[in-house]
Structure 1
Amino acid sequence: MYIVPISSAITPLDILSQNETAAADKSKTDSPSFADVFREVITDVTETQQVVNEDSARLVMGEIDDLHTIYNNLTKAEIAVETFVAVKDACQQSYDQIMQMSM
């Protein structure tokens, strides 16, 4: 049986503090910007709408037998659009409030 010496298993405190500051700096730079979030919402709406359009075409052609898949995709698209509208409304309200501020 091999025994690990205590001195090699203990990390110095200065190394731990450097790791914590590096993690804090990383979390600051890794947070998504508003443009990234808004772009992701728009992409989600576009993708779900494309899936619904493809499902509709496949349903008309008789290629789909399970309607629950179409319903689930339609619900996802509806939620994506509602999320997009909510984000857009929040942006517009924020902009209006900023414009009403006196300087």
Structure 2
Amino acid sequence: MEQMFIIPIRSLDSIGDIGAGKKVVSGQNGGPSFQDIFKEAVENVNTTESDLTRQQYLLSTGQIDDAHTVPAAAAKAQLSVELLTALRNKALEAYTEIIRISI
């Protein structure tokens, strides 16, 4: 699995640098954009939830040898949901702050 990271924000030289004829497909310096990071977090939640469901099924049918994998999968799924929730909350906070800026 690819590591998720956020590239630090760099200051602009002038306001004219915003959209100066360039179409930005990914984040600064070719890094992942917020949309890419958010999509990856959603996919991570889906993956961990399906893994947890599969582990629970294997445990309930007696096909699993080590029962400790189920709580580990549950913790992983919970952490991925918490990460997605934190990303959403931070995005909403940033949006709210941008709306408050008066021109």
Q: Where is the helix percentage greater, Structure 1 or Structure 2?
A: 1
- For residues 54 and 68 of structure 1, what CA distance do their matches in structure 2 show? 14
1:44-82 CA-to-partner distances (Å, cap 9, x unmatched) read 111000000111111111111311111111111111111
Larger relative contact order (Cα-Cα within 8 Å, sequence gap ≥ 6): 1
CA deviation after TM superposition for structure 1 residue 43, in Å: 0.6
Give the Cα–Cα distance (whole angstroms) in 2 for the partners of residues 76 and 85 of structure 1.
Answer: 14
Q: Deviations over 1:9-67 (max 9, x none)?
A: xxxxxxxxxxxxxxxxxx81x21111111111111111000000111111111111311
1:36-55, aligned counterparts within 5 Å?
Answer: 36-55=36-55
Q: Could you say which residue in structure 2 is the equivalent of 1:88?
A: 88
TM-score (structure 1 length as normaliser): 0.69
- 1:56-95 to 2 correspondence within 5 Å? 56-95=56-95
Quick one: which amino acid aligns to residue 67 of structure 2?
A: L
Larger radius of gyration: 1
Aligned Cα root-mean-square deviation (Å): 1.3
Mapped to 2, the partners of 1:59 and 1:68 lie a distance apart of: 10
Q: How many residues are paired up?
A: 76
Gaps of 5+ in 1: 1-26
Q: Normalized against structure 2, the TM-score is what?
A: 0.69
Query: Structure 2: where are the runs of 5+ without partners?
Result: 1-27
